[in-house]
Chains A and B, each alone.
Chain A
């Protein structure tokens, strides 16, 4: 059994179920940098083009979770939990329109966990 890099809370699962009913299959891309501000972006599968420099960290509730490989350099020893909170955000992520916001909560992985991590998909 591998240690996962991403996991999801029950409240985020509920929001994802709603979004899936409206949009079908979904993916996440952790945004980097400037104006859309270091948040998980939820998109319809195939609507967002995954780049050749993106890596997949794992799957949460049936949704693949991506980020760019250069940003991933700083996430190598991080575990991310996708959570959802009420209140409208300002980005382009799908949940914004139904009055929720996804957030990623980070935890530094232990040395033992790092040894047994799920390999990333490139």
Chain B
């Protein structure tokens, strides 16, 4: 790759963050759009990193991800993986449950990456599990179109070396929070909330204190005398 350095490594790590989802993450990175000319090599590295993930008992510090939060969620994810296959998406890694030797009935799912297109349900609906749907783009115009072709808009991430591109995309993507060259940072006081079907209003910023207050207007006359109208 043209720029084989620590930033590339950081971007690979950034993509792999999707695998931490154990059943619900409001801002889960559920789609990844990757520039066509770096896709092959970039995805190869991401898949290598994914293969190194250790799944199992979350109390064992050696493990990186645990089980899904409920049987309901486990079944829902398995259902979506089936839908993805039926829609013609290609499974790049995972695509099934994980059998833990310690907890054979545990609700474990292998980190799963689908390659497909943005019109598929696995791109458009929130699966909420360690499942990512990837597609490629040719240029900035196509990337922006795909990014905004969704019913939702809570969180998005932009990964680029180009500060102009970062500015263009962070402003152009219709989402309430845009992470630039990072993802899943939730500092206090950073406003949180979505565009489109991801909600109305914002939380956690100082301006939101207004939502919890009443405005009162007190009108006082300091004159002891009648107004004198009668």
With a cutoff of 8 Å between Cβ atoms, the chain A residues found around residue B73 in the complex are 37
Interface residues of B in 116-130 (CB under 8 A from A): 119-121, 124-128
* Closest residue of B by beta carbon distance from A108: B86
Inter-subunit contact A103/B79 (CB<8 Å): yes
Q: Does A24 have its Cβ within 8 Å of any Cβ on chain B?
A: no
0/1 string, A62-90, CB within 8 A of B gives 1: 00000000110011001000000101011
Q: Does B35 have its Cβ within 8 Å of any Cβ on chain A?
A: no
Inter-subunit contact B26/A32 (CB<8 Å): no
A32 to B119, CA, bound (A): 16
A101 to B128, CA, bound (A): 18
Nearest-Cβ distance from residue B68 to partner chain A, whole angstroms: 12
Nearest-Cβ distance from residue B57 to partner chain A, whole angstroms: 23
In this complex, how many residues of chain B approach chain A with their Cβ under 8 Å: the count is 26
Q: Which residues does B use to contact A, with CB under 8 Å? A: 24, 26, 70-73, 75-76, 79, 82-83, 86-87, 119-121, 124-128, 151-152, 154, 197-198
In this complex, how many residues of chain A approach chain B with their Cβ under 8 Å: the count is 22
A17 to B86, CA, bound (A): 32
Nearest-Cβ distance from residue A54 to partner chain B, whole angstroms: 13
Nearest-Cβ distance from residue B194 to partner chain A, whole angstroms: 8
Inter-subunit contact A35/B75 (CB<8 Å): no
